[in-house]
Chain A
Amino acid sequence: MAEFQHSVSLDAQKCIGCTSCLRQCPTEAIRVRDGHAVIRSELCIDCGRCVRVCQHKAKRAVFDSLSDIDPKYKWRIALPAPALYGQFDELADIGELLQGLLELGFDDVYEVARSAEIISECTRRYMRKPNILKPVISSACPAIVRLIRIRFPELCDHVLPILPPVEYASRAAKASALQKYPTLMPEEICTVFISPCPAKTSYAKNGLSQTKSSIDYVISISDVYKQLSGKFGKGREFTMRSKAGIAGVKWASSGGEVEGLYLDRYLAADDMDNAIQVLDAIENGKLPALEFVELNACPGGCVGGAATVENPYIARSRLLSFRRGLPNYRNYLHLEDKEPDYIPPDAMVDNPIKDYVPPERFSEDRFEAMRMMAQMDEIYERLPQIDCGSCGAPTCRTFAEDVVKGECRMEDCIVLLKRHLQAQKEGAEK
């Protein structure tokens, strides 16, 4: 498989080598080397937490911008994430926002919330299947899906083998454009996802397993926010209407997905630490009674994504106010004549997520790995064990690992060095 393309990157000029992101990284993927943070590609899950905590704005989520869109595309379809709806204070109707997107230069808009409703319908059908591994884990948050692959490989088979709503939306948007405008060629149409997070950008760039994504560009919610804020609520005319129902819009915040499944025994957890604890519990067989688990990497769900603008709770409250006027569902598959657990093949993930390469493994040779770990424990015992971070590793334990791997030297531990110097000085004085 080709090298994984990440969408969190570092601006070395802005990074002052402080340690605020170090310990926040849920996979311990960050080190500070030569005064700058370095992200380890194989461990990074693009969750964007470091982007959120960096006070120097040195961690950046990589997105496309509107000007990146190739002129060869004659028909540009915006795919707004439902989290976008919660960003604007003055917005009274989602239609007004969709109209705003057209004014930015899009030819059409296809709401991801619409596909979320379809995915909910498919998931309800999936849950009726016999012999599925439970709890089923949502596939919507790509940071979680990648975390599972890296740290919880045994749980890969629990991940819902159904497309995330944004992928379904991209395919549906292209198909419906071709149908509506028969003169368009497929290669003239592009989809542009308006995303709450870098994780979704990585998803669009890398796809899932061997499944390539049909999303062509990903721009950030904050970028669109900058261009549209202040434009709404002035009694402007708009003809666009939202085609999504409550159930789809709800997906923007944690718990929205499970609510649409009408199950009795489910769990929704948000924020990385909580998600990791839940996954540990599932792996230990501790949640056998649950049918479905929704996990979101960001606090509050996608409304808390690293590329959003508004506080997640405020955004959520705005979404609630839109929801009042909407019907629950507006998008259906119309499968009444099919078996209750039938799922259209085009909604399924072509290849189940399973290719386990343990990125944390010290060595391919187990004897060598064991030797390294023994050495690591020895080194750890000699360290101050205060996890100060000044060596550039998040914890003394990771520092010991780095020493064994030859990435840094004992002398990089400043605390230890100071103790040595002190001892030397005292020795000299005596």
Chain B
Amino acid sequence: MSALHFHFEIDGMDFSSAGDASVAVKKKLRQLGFPSDVIRRCSIAMYEGEINMVIHADGGTADVMVYPDKVVMVLEDHGPGIPDVELAMKEGYSTSTEQIRNMGFGAGMGLPNMKRYTDSLEIETQVGVGTKLTMVVSV
């Protein structure tokens, strides 16, 4: 069976709607009857990715492909890219500004959590070009 495909535009200027795509995906997965732990893992991974695009990359797009046995999330932006992926994956590593930290982000836990809650996380990134994350959560 072919996948269901959902597409979201993530607005880089709009902090208040950051997280909306994650909420929308959560609702779809509930309607499809996915187990609640799968829903939760997707929702957390999606949320962190979404926020990263808003904070670090001026927005981007999210494409979610739902298969009967897995959910694939692809987040793509044309932001600054990540110079050192290994470093960015470290818990606590963050380049967030003071201002962002004051908003409650920037603990450097986003990427590590995305890794923890998904079955696979792939990062393709190029400085000055952008970043593409592919995450898979299997049932």
Contact = CB atoms under 8 A, between A and B. Distances in A.
Interface of A: 151, 153-154, 280-281, 283-286, 356, 358, 360-364, 366-367, 369-370, 373-374, 377, 401
Contacts of A361: 30-33
Contacts of A367: 1, 68
Q: Is the interface of B mostly helix, strand, loop or mixed?
A: helix
Given A284-B48, A362-B33, A367-B68, 10 more contacts: A154-B40, A284-B19, A284-B44, A358-B33, A360-B27, A360-B31, A362-B32, A366-B33, A366-B34, A370-B1
23 contacts: A153-B36, A154-B39, A280-B19, A283-B40, A283-B43, A284-B19, A284-B22, A284-B44, A284-B48, A286-B47, A286-B104, A358-B33, A361-B30, A362-B32, A362-B33, A364-B33, A366-B32, A366-B68, A369-B32, A370-B1, A373-B28, A374-B4, A377-B4
Nearest to A363: B33
Contacts of A401: 31
Given A154-B40, A285-B113, A370-B4, A362 B68 contact: no
Contacts of A363: 33
A370 B66 contact: yes
Contacts of A364: 33
B43 to A, nearest CB: 6
Contact of B31 (A283, A285, A369): A369
A281 B43 CA distance: 10
10 closest residue pairs by CB, A with B: A361-B33, A284-B47, A369-B32, A154-B40, A153-B36, A360-B30, A360-B31, A154-B36, A366-B68, A369-B33
B23 interface: yes
A82 B30 CA distance: 37
A275 to B, nearest CB: 14
Interface in B28-70: 28, 30-34, 36-37, 39-40, 43-44, 47-48, 66, 68
Contacts, number: 61
Nearest to B107: A288
B1 A358 contact: no
A369 B31 CA distance: 8
Contacts of A154: 36-37, 39-40
B2 to A, nearest CB: 8
Contacts of A285: 44, 113
Contacts of A286: 47, 104
Interface residues of B, number: 25
A373 B4 contact: yes
A45 to B, nearest CB: 15
A325 to B, nearest CB: 40
A363 B28 CA distance: 13
Nearest to B40: A154
Contacts of B113: 285
Given A154-B36, A154-B39, A361-B30, A370 B44 contact: no
A401 B30 CA distance: 14
A260 B31 CA distance: 39
A286 B104 CA distance: 9
B32 A373 contact: yes
A373 B34 CA distance: 13
A151 B29 CA distance: 12
A285 B112 CA distance: 13
A418 B26 CA distance: 34
Nearest to B2: A374
Nearest to B46: A284
Contacts of B36: 153-154, 356, 358
Nearest to B23: A280
A148 to B, nearest CB: 12
A204 to B, nearest CB: 28
A356 B22 CA distance: 21
A427 B4 CA distance: 37
Contacts of B66: 370
A373 B1 CA distance: 13
A371 B26 CA distance: 18
B31 A373 contact: yes
Contacts of A153: 36
A369 B28 CA distance: 10
Nearest to B32: A369
A283 B33 CA distance: 18
Contacts of A280: 19, 23, 26
B40 A370 contact: no
Contacts of B48: 284
A300 to B, nearest CB: 23
A419 B31 CA distance: 31
A284 B43 contact: yes
Q: By CB atoms of chain B within 10 A, which of A154, A362, A366 has the most?
A: A366
A410 to B, nearest CB: 20
A280 B43 CA distance: 9
A362 B4 contact: no
Nearest to A153: B36
Nearest to A155: B40
B65 to A, nearest CB: 11
